[in-house]
Amino acid sequence: MSGDMRFTLKVWRQKNAAEMGRFEIYEAKGVSPDMSLFEMLDAVNEDLILKGEDPIAFDHDCREGICGTCGSVINGQPHGPETGTTTCQVFMRLFKAGDTITIEPFRAKAFPVVKDLIVDRSAFDRIIAAGGYVSVGTGAAPEANTLPVPKEKSELAMDAAACIGCGACVAACPNAAAMLFVGAKISHLGLLPQGQPERDRRSIALRRAMDREGFGNCTNHAECEAACPKEIKMRNIARFNRDYLKASFLSEE
């Protein structure tokens, strides 16, 4: 079921981190409404390869909205115009035939461009390494039902744990803050009894790691919440702030 829609694509091309980037124009033909944006880009890339040109580099893996690998800014919005969606789940039925679609990478100081639409998000890994976990070695766990967890709490923890680490929150934020990403991790673990022993330490360590990586500050624009493909809520940031303040007051360092 190949379609007959055409689009003009304005795509950011950049060879590597060192070189300057620019927009290039491509035509996409034979697009059907059931195709995903990535399937359209696949087709454009096939043509580019056959012409001996460098295909458009973009990150993707699961193509079902769960791995967090993909991420581009589509028509000015991280992950595109729909809410609660990753870039890989943008389908062409969303656009009008003939539209011009602008595709560019997530832009943030802490996410340098690797190539074209691909950015380096390893800052997120370093933040988690600073303490975004429960320190329990393999084999040291008590029986699973030892600690009851109220269902409401575990559901709230799951809401926060659903973060896929894509970085759209950072890309959407005018300050390129990582507060929603970090707040989600703080909430996920802070809501569970297993996360309590390290709760104070964690909020301080993650806050410091975030600053070290060059992310900006939250000034309550709420763009992150709007862009989040997993619809993680701003109240996780509030929880993070509370935990951090409390921990700093109590801190003996």
Partner 1 sequence: MSLDAKIPTGPLEQKWDNHRFHTKLVNPANRRKFEIIVVGTGLAGASAAASLGEMGYNVKAFCLQDSPRRAHSIAAQGGINAAKNYPNDGDSVHRLFYDTIKGGDFRAREANVHRLAQVSNSIIDQCVAQGVPFGREYGGSLSNRSFGGAQVSRTFYSRGQTGQQLLLGAYGALMRQAASGQVKIFPRREMLDLVVVDGRARGIVCRNMVDGKIESHAGHAVLLCTGGYGNVFYLSTNAASCNVTATWRAHKRGAFFGNPCFTQIHPTCIPVAGAQQSKLTLMSESLRNDGRVWVPKTAGDNRSPSQIPESERDYYLERRYPSFGNLVPRDVASRAAKAVIDEKKGVGPTGLAVYLDFADSIKRLGADVIRERYGNLFDMYAHITAEDPYQTPMRIYPAVHYAMGGLWVDYNLMTTVPGLFCLGEANFSDHGANRLGASALMQGLADGYFVIPYTLGGYLASGGIPSVGADHAAFRDAEKAVEEQTRRLLAVQGRRTAADFHRQLGLLLWDKCGMARNEAGLKDLLSRIPGIREEFWQNVKVAGQKESFNQALERAGRVADFLEFAELLVRDALERRESCGGHFREEFQTPDNEARRDDKNFAHAAAWEYRGDGQDPMRHAEPLTFEAVSLAQRSYQ
Question: Residue count at the site for partner 1 (CB under 8 A)?
Answer: 84
Give the residue with the Cβ less far from partner 1, 145 or 220. Answer: 145
Q: Is 98 in the site for partner 1 (CB under 8 A)?
A: no
CA dist., res. 95 & res. 103, Å (int): 14
Instruction: Please state the closest distance from residue 101 (CB atom) to ligand FES, in A.
Output: 17
Of these partners, ligand FES, partner 1, none, which one is at the site of residue 70 (CB under 5 to 8 Å by kind)? ligand FES
Per CB under 8 A, contacts with partner 1 among 6-25 are 15-16
Q: Which residue has the tokens 């929150």?
A: 169
Chosen from partner 1, ligand FES, none, partner binding at 195 (C-beta under 5 to 8 Å by type) = partner 1
Are the CB atoms for 165 and 181 separated by under 8 Å? yes
Q: With CB under 8 A as the contact rule, which of the stretches 5-13, 114-122, 172-180, 245-253 interacts with partner 1?
A: 114-122
State in angstroms the smallest separation of the CB of 229 from ligand FES: 7
Binding site for ligand FES (CB under 6 A): 60-63, 65-70, 86-88
| Shortest spacing between CB 223 and partner 1, in angstroms | 22
* Residue 86 interacts with which of partner 1, ligand FES, none, CB < 5 to 8 Å by class: ligand FES
- Choice from 19, 24, 27, 53 touching partner 1 (CB under 8 A): 53
Of 69 and 236, CB closest to ligand FES: 69
Indicate the residue among 82 and 99 with the shorter CB distance to partner 1: 82
DSSP secondary-structure letter at 141? Answer: P
Say whether residue 199 binds partner 1 (CB under 8 A): no
63: which 2 tokens? 């193509």
**What residue type is assigned to position 182 of the chain?**
V
User: CA-CA distance, 55 to 30, in Å (whole number)?
Assistant: 18
Phi/psi at 160 (5° precision): -75, -35
Spell out the residues 6+ positions from residue 138 whose beta carbon is closer than 8 angstroms to its own. Answer: none
Is 4 a binder of partner 1 (CB under 8 A)?
Answer: no
Helix (H) or strand (E) holding 159: helix 151-161
CA of residue 130 relative to chain centroid, distance: 19
- Cα 98 to Cα 16, 49, 186, 225: the distances in Å are 31, 24, 44, 30
